[in-house]
Structure 1
Amino acid sequence: MKKWKTLQRLESVGIIAVVRGDKKGEALQTSHAIVAGGIKGIELAFTVPQANEVIRELVEFYHDNSNIIVGAGTVLDAFTARLAIVAGAQYIVSPSFDKATAEVCNLYQIPYIPGCMTITEMQKAITSGVDIIKLFPGSVYDPSILKAIKAPMPQLNIMPTGGVNLTNMIDWFNAGAIAVGVGGSLLAPAASGNFDEVTKLAKQYKEKYQEIRK
């Protein structure tokens, strides 16, 4: 039941912000700026120093807000996945599929979203209990690829990540994406400390998403 509810929330938020940063403080400020702009899905990359601490602080800070969902990204192995889950991560995202990570996530009833590029990889992932496939990197595809993928495997739930922006987001959703992962196009101002601009961009993404869903 826990896993199912999380999957429903991921589909509901629609946009997952992939948060990176050179320092713990930067990642925290970026996350808060994104939430302030209306995006409720945070994927904290494990390339961030002390990533598990950032996840723990975010989960504690938004504990009373059931609309906010915090997960871990760039998880490469089962050990890191468990570290993130213990810290409070509500879902796990990887750039590629790892069976041991899938098993750990299944054990704790945490959704696992691995990056896949081919039908073979996707079939292997869902056979191991994966519910959402991260099409990565999305920048090398046209949104029409989703129709081609879903023709033989209509049961797939796909979240394109990489190259998704304000302009093409509507094309991905119209093509059948269950959600999208957004990174560079949203977070770029954070590198120079302009978190107000991050909030402004997050609002634009949220408004665009609401228009698409209508």
Structure 2
Amino acid sequence: MLEIVTSTPGVFEVGTVLNIKDAKDAVKGGAKFLMSPTMVKGIMDDIEDEFLYIPGVMTPTEILTAYEAGAEIVKVYPVSALGGIKYISALKKPFPHISMVASQGITIDSIGDYIRQGASSVVLSDAIFNKEFMDQRNFDGIFRLSKLAASQAMEALEWKQQSSLTESCHR
């Protein structure tokens, strides 16, 4: 998803979509991908082909159910309450073929660990849009946090690519 956001100017996502009406409104408003804290069946069934829909999942059963319903990627939520990095690592063992977004309670400093343990991307809304900066309307601070987060993510993705290359050379 970092690639979608950084390589496509003007792309935006709508999160916490809880019903099909909100999903349709978001798409009409120009959203290119939507996220939910749960799997909203109507979105998967009715309008998922028009955009990327990332349903929220918590358990292995929910992951497989969303994948079998057509989800290309799932949002593991609330990941920090479920064990954080260790939980993502454990989930990737039976589901290496399913892309996962780690969401909730993630810090900028932990981006690399999540990516190295198998997350395809992370949600950083609380880490970037921290309450103090928002209250102060400190948009420069938010911008700096965004740049730091993007840098951390790029480093982790580069490490992941190098690891994959090294691994394939040793086979």
The answer to whether the aligner puts 1:159 opposite 2:150 as a matched pair is no
* Structure 2 residue identity aligned to 1:191: D
Partner SS for 1:180: strand
CA distance in 2, matches of 1:175, 1:69: 27
Partner SS for 2:129: helix
Q: Specify which structure has the bigger relative contact order, considering alpha-carbon pairs within 8 angstroms and separated by 6 or more residues.
A: 1
Partner SS for 1:168: helix
Percent of residue pairs identical: 26
Spell out the pairing of 1:189-208 with structure 2 (5 A cutoff).
189-208=133-152
CA distance in 2, matches of 1:206, 1:148: 25
Among 24, 27, 37, the residue aligned to 1:82 = 24
Equivalent position of 1:12 in the other structure: 3
Equivalent position of 2:69 in the other structure: 128
Equivalent position of 2:91 in the other structure: 149
Equivalent position of 1:112 in the other structure: 53
Gaps of 5+ in 2: 159-171
Gaps of 5+ in 1: 1-9, 14-39, 42-64
Cα displacement string for residues 108-155 of structure 1 (whole angstroms, at most 9, x for unaligned residues): 2x1111111101111111111111110111211231222321222221
Q: TM-score, normalised by structure 2?
A: 0.83
Equivalent position of 2:165 in the other structure: none
Is contact 2:16-2:35 (8 Å) kept?
Answer: yes
CA distance in 1, matches of 2:62, 2:157: 29
- How far did residue 203 of structure 1 move? 1.5
Is contact 1:186-1:201 (8 Å) kept?
Answer: yes
Cα displacement string for residues 50-76 of structure 1 (whole angstroms, at most 9, x for unaligned residues): xxxxxxxxxxxxxxx834421111100
Equivalent position of 1:62 in the other structure: none
Equivalent position of 1:54 in the other structure: none
- How far did residue 165 of structure 1 move? 1.1
CA distance in 2, matches of 1:11, 1:206: 8
CA distance in 1, matches of 2:47, 2:122: 21
Aligned length, in residue pairs = 155
Cα displacement string for residues 27-62 of structure 1 (whole angstroms, at most 9, x for unaligned residues): xxxxxxxxxxxxx46xxxxxxxxxxxxxxxxxxxxx
Is contact 1:92-1:105 (8 Å) kept?
Answer: no
Is contact 2:23-2:34 (8 Å) kept?
Answer: yes
Partner SS for 1:167: helix
Task: Tell me which protein shows more helix as a share of its residues.
Answer: 2
Among 140, 143, 157, the residue aligned to 1:213 = 157
CA distance in 2, matches of 1:210, 1:88: 26
CA distance in 2, matches of 1:179, 1:105: 23
RMSD (Å), alpha carbons: 1.8
